[in-house]
Amino acid sequence: MRKRWDATRGLGIRGFVACGPSLSGQSHSGFKWNPTLRRKFNMIALTCFRALHDGGGCVSVQPVAIAPTSIVALLRSQTQDAHSALEGQLGLLEQPASTEYYAQLLSRFLGFHLVWEEDLKAFPELACELEMRSRLRNLRHDLRTLGVTDAGISSVPLCGGAHSLTANEARALGSFYVLEGSTLGGQLITRHLSSAHWLPAEGLSYFNPYGSRTGEMWRSFRRWLESQAQHHAASDIVAGARATFVVLQKWLAG
Ligand code: HEM
């Protein structure tokens, strides 16, 4: 049976063991624990840990090992290496890029999104979320701004590898995290490229689709993802995210 993602997993409860019940049911001070007391203690420990983790608490206990408490935190930590690899490959912050390079890159992203967004619609909850997050319009707009013709835009090669990313809902959720997360790094990219003489300012909407609403859109996506993740194995979602970086790396290099 697959393990489901559970908000209480990896909460570092171990960190409270020093002051909590031992396995024998007897604390170090000789105090007797019964199951009800132990349950209550765990609830309090959990509340304290959440307060600490959310930064809103002022309790003095410190968990020993802080594991990721949310699927987003887990995804971030588990895809860091893949993100760095893709970021390095694109080199958008380093090389003196050109209109041709950027147009080629956006054409490849369009070939990816066309396949991936269509496949995502197979899952009703994801389809609904995608309605306000589709990047197809942004890509077409930016490509036109860069001088690509409508004929060129409608004949971009399609990324066949993207199909595998939506083989099931959990993987699709992981891939959604990757593409939506790119709007965060997109802020840095936008700032960097906005001074590039070869790129008209209006040509940056793919990496900056939400403008001043970026933070708000990310927070609402995160909330949505956390609730969706409860129905799936965290490992499947992470696998989907990692696979997305791999597919993109290969596809964007083409
Ligand atoms: C030159 C290219 C890129 C740079 C410099 C870059 C940079 C960054 C930075 C600085 C952040 C952290 C933003 C923050 O915490 O406020 C970030 C987050 C992220 N980026 Fe990128 N990024 C790049 C490309 C991409 C691409 C192409 C993708 C995927 C298609 C991507 C996916 C993500 C994801 C998933 C996050 C993490 C969101 C989170 O969990 O906090 N990035 N990026």
Residue nearest to atom 18 of ligand 1 (CA): 185
Is any ligand 1 atom within 6 A of the Cβ of residue 184? yes
Q: Cα-flanking dihedrals φ and ψ of residue 20, to 5°?
A: -115, -165
Closest residue by Cα to residue 246 from 184, 160, 162, 169: 162
Is any ligand 1 atom within 6 A of the Cβ of residue 43? no
Domains of the chain: 1-69 (no CATH), 71-253 (1.20.910.10)
**How far, in Å, from the CA of 96 to the mean position of ligand 1?**
20
Instruction: Give the position of tokens 């001070």.
Output: 29
Per-residue pLDDT reduced to its tens digit, 30-46: 344 443 443 343 334 33
pTM for the predicted model, two decimal places: 0.77
Q: Which residues in the chain show pLDDT less than 50?
A: 1-64, 66
Give the pLDDT score at 203: 95
Q: How far apart are CA 182 and CA 245, in angstroms?
A: 11
Give the pLDDT score at 57: 35
**How far, in Å, from the CA of 186 to the mean position of ligand 1?**
7
Q: How far apart are CA 76 and CA 69, in angstroms?
A: 12
Closest residue by Cα to residue 206 from 225, 223, 193: 193
Residue type, 210: Y
**How far, in Å, from the CA of 26 to the mean position of ligand 1?**
48
Closest residue by Cα to residue 99 from 139, 67, 147: 147
Sign of CA dihedral 36, 38, 41, 42: negative
From 188, 214, 223, 251, the mutation candidate for ligand 1 (largest count of ligand atoms within 8 A of CB) is 188
Give the pLDDT score at 68: 53
Give the pLDDT score at 67: 53
Residue nearest to atom 9 of ligand 1 (CA): 185
From 72, 83, 207, 224, the mutation candidate for ligand 1 (largest count of ligand atoms within 8 A of CB) is 83
Q: How far apart are CA 110 and CA 103, in angstroms?
A: 10
